[in-house]
Amino acid sequence: MVAVAAVNDATAALAVDNLSFSYGNKPALSNVSFNVRSGAATMLLGLNGSGKTTLFSLLTRLFLSPTGSVTIDGVKLGAGNAALRKVGIVFQQMTLDLDLTVEQNLRYFAALQGMNRRDAEVRITEELTALDLNDRRKDRVRTLNGGHRRRLEIARALLHQPRLLLLDEPTVGLDIETRRTLVGQLHDRAGTDGVAILWATHLIDEIFEDDPLIILHQGRIVADGLTGTLVASAGAPDLSAAFVHFRQAGA
């Protein structure tokens, strides 16, 4: 791995150590280790097929790694639910119930999280207001456009105030203006709420210069550090060129 100014925080909201995974004889991830800190959007940049979704499947125990460990807010990810209760996730594919209203989707999720009705109603209003959806709370989800549905999934993921928010290509299929707005909102939320975000993307324009950045290529981390520092270390004019540099160096 080419690691430059890598984030190394002993109090990381997410600590991944030596994860590997294969589909039969085909390696998908190899000795992946990194930290994600609170209060920032850590961007996981990689081409389609680089291993981003496999990594997220391991972080949520949809898959089990034969090696390594995952620690979330100081709790080891294992057979119990203690670590996962600290996590919110937005998958690439939509997982809302189209026949329920906006608030019914959120109430159902709140119940699954063990939130009492009173607290849930407060949090539902807070999240719908923050994401400009409060005026749609009585609408069935199937009447919402793609951008509103994605915002609803983010509201749901943040409802129980997780320590870690996992975003797997959250802007896929959105128009340019909606995507730009959502990218800004999510970066702002990391700072104002103190939540740690791990954001998988293949879109370079979603990444800010001061974002922590992890570049994943062919199942391996080939760079880990602050975006601006990585660009400078590659001697590149911009992140697009630096991305090519690190992929070639790590091939």
What pTM does this model have? 0.92
Question: Token match 């994600």: residue?
Answer: 36
Q: How does pLDDT run across 62-89, given as a tens digit for each residue?
A: 999 889 999 999 999 986 778 999 999 9
Q: How does pLDDT run across 108-152, given as a tens digit for each residue?
A: 999 999 999 999 999 999 999 999 999 999 999 999 999 999 999
* CA gap 189, 108 in Å, rounded: 23
From residue 222, how far is each of 3, 50, 58, 105, 160 by CA, in Å? 7, 11, 19, 39, 34
Q: Where are the domains of the chain?
A: 14-95+164-250
Domain 14-95+164-250 homologous superfamily, CATH: P-loop containing nucleotide triphosphate hydrolases (3.40.50.300)
Q: Please check the confidence at residue 2 and state whether its pLDDT lies above 60.
A: no
* CA gap 28, 168 in Å, rounded: 17
Tokens of 45: 């940049």
Q: Please check the confidence at residue 198 and state whether its pLDDT lies above 90.
A: yes
